Amino acid sequence: MLLEKGALTSDWMPAFKAVPRDAFVPDRLWPGTAGGNRQGEAIDRNTDPARWWGKVHSDVPLTTQWDDGAHAGADKGRSPTSSNSMPTMVFSMLDALSVERGNRVLEIGTGTGWNAALLSYRLGPDNVVTVEVDPAVAEEARRRLAAADLNPLSVVGDGAQGYPDGAPYDRIIATCGISTVPYEWVEQAAEGAVIVAPWGPSYGGQGIARLRVGEGGVAMGQFVMSSAFMRLRDQRDTFPPTDAFPGASNWPSTASRRTTALSPDDMGSWHHMFTLGVQVPDMFCRVERGKAGAYRLWLLDMGCTSWATADYEPGRTAFEVAEYGPRHLWAEVEAVMSWWREKGEPRFERYGLTVTPHGQRVWLDSPDNLVPVQVP
């Protein structure tokens, strides 16, 4: 299956065979779906071993923790906070990492330990450092790694800080999403090192960035594929409640009203969310579900000054819009989508990222072609 999808390459085949996924997942887990974040019901190896084995050996993500361990189930309103990633993503990212014999690797986000085990088998445990923020998750991973006779240096700490005592690293890989590349990673990387990390703006949409560290502490590279990873705990987003916005609690209040040909449904496409989030970095969205597939999309700014809504109904080609506040958020979105169409409707692979000591910028096709950012 993984070979057919092109994710598992021949150089990773020995590690794949020697380090089975089933040795690095708990007895109780929640399988997700390959194309999204929907979580299935819990499966317990002790009560339903056939289903457990079937899901573990399927190409789906497996959630293993909720709300940093505060809850033991996938009830409404709870968030997954640790998982075993889908195998195609694991091996696609390892392929992008381009490890070579003798490389020292820093992994951010130990999780269940499977990724660290694969790296340790390939490069030797002495060449792998893995950092996990959650002590309980780290301890379980250590136990599984020890059982496989693979014992990389396992550190409990904030992954955003890396692990300077083990630097410099030839490769750095993150198994958690980020919106800002911690510059500590670049500082701890050797010149010529490769950094592979899931990067995405607060609005949504995420891709795997593959950066090469060059002279002057600059890391630069393109996005190689889309992704959907839980956030680095240090970079989790906190959005203000809708009722904190003037006029929102008595919608449509005194909002200006019009129609638009831009479908709210387009705002849910992963590459559209990425493009919107990069260009309007202080905007976020919420969805208010209706009946028969209808819903209201809310766009809001982090400063709690402005909001816009667009009402979606299946089969319509014109959609009702309400805008409130000093900013016209739906107009900003229309401008971004117009830019996207003018640029040939780019997907992730045409975007790139540059990280310097002074910040980071996303570009299109070449590093000197920066993606515009709307400053409120």
pLDDT band at 36 (very low <50, low <70, confident <90, very high): very low
pLDDT band at 243 (very low <50, low <70, confident <90, very high): very high
* Assigned domain for 25 exists: yes
- Interaxial angle between packed helices 329-342 and 270-279, expressed in degrees from 0 to 180 and rounded to the nearest 10: 110
Predicted confidence (pLDDT) at residue 376 exceeds the cutoff of 60: yes
Section 123-150 average pLDDT: 98
Same structural domain, 190 and 89: yes
Closest CA to 364 of 348, 345, 351: 351
Q: End of a domain among 233, 262, 291?
A: 233
Same structural domain, 204 and 265: no
pLDDT of residue 266: 86
Same structural domain, 107 and 150: yes
Predicted confidence (pLDDT) at residue 272 exceeds the cutoff of 70: yes
Q: What is the CATH number of the domain that holds 84?
A: 3.40.50.150
Closest CA to 168 of 223, 213, 221: 213
* Assigned domain for 2 exists: no
Q: End of a domain among 208, 233, 258?
A: 233
Same structural domain, 16 and 50: yes
pLDDT of residue 159: 97
Section 169-185 average pLDDT: 98
Q: pTM for the whole thing?
A: 0.95
* Assigned domain for 32 exists: yes
Same structural domain, 51 and 15: yes
> Widest CA span of the chain, in angstroms?
66
Q: How many domains does the chain have?
A: 2
pLDDT of residue 93: 98
Same structural domain, 253 and 304: yes
pLDDT of residue 241: 96
pLDDT of residue 37: 42
pLDDT of residue 39: 55
Section 332-355 average pLDDT: 97
pLDDT of residue 5: 75
Cβ-count burial of 46 within 10 angstroms (0-12 exposed, 13-18 middle, 19+ buried)? exposed
Same structural domain, 260 and 223: no
pLDDT tens-digit profile of 139-174?
999 999 999 999 999 999 999 999 999 999 999 999
Q: End of a domain among 186, 201, 233?
A: 233
Cβ-count burial of 214 within 10 angstroms (0-12 exposed, 13-18 middle, 19+ buried)? middle
Domain membership of residue 320 as a residue range:
242-342
* Assigned domain for 349 exists: no
- Looking at 82, 85, 92, 202, which residue is catalytic? 85
pLDDT tens-digit profile of 45-99?
999 999 999 999 999 999 999 998 887 766 666 888 899 999 999 999 999 999 9
**Do the Cβ atoms of 151 and 141 come closer than 8 Å?**
no
Per-chain mean pLDDT for the chain: 94
Same structural domain, 68 and 124: yes
* Assigned domain for 120 exists: yes
Q: What is the CATH number of the domain that holds 265?
A: 3.30.160
Section 264-291 average pLDDT: 94
**Do the Cβ atoms of 145 and 128 come closer than 8 Å?**
no
Same structural domain, 39 and 154: yes
Section 1-10 average pLDDT: 78
pLDDT of residue 186: 98
Same structural domain, 330 and 304: yes
* Assigned domain for 367 exists: no
Verify whether residue 85 is a known catalytic residue: yes
* Assigned domain for 130 exists: yes
Same structural domain, 174 and 282: no
Same structural domain, 102 and 225: yes
Predicted confidence (pLDDT) at residue 207 exceeds the cutoff of 80: yes
* Assigned domain for 360 exists: no
pLDDT of residue 75: 66
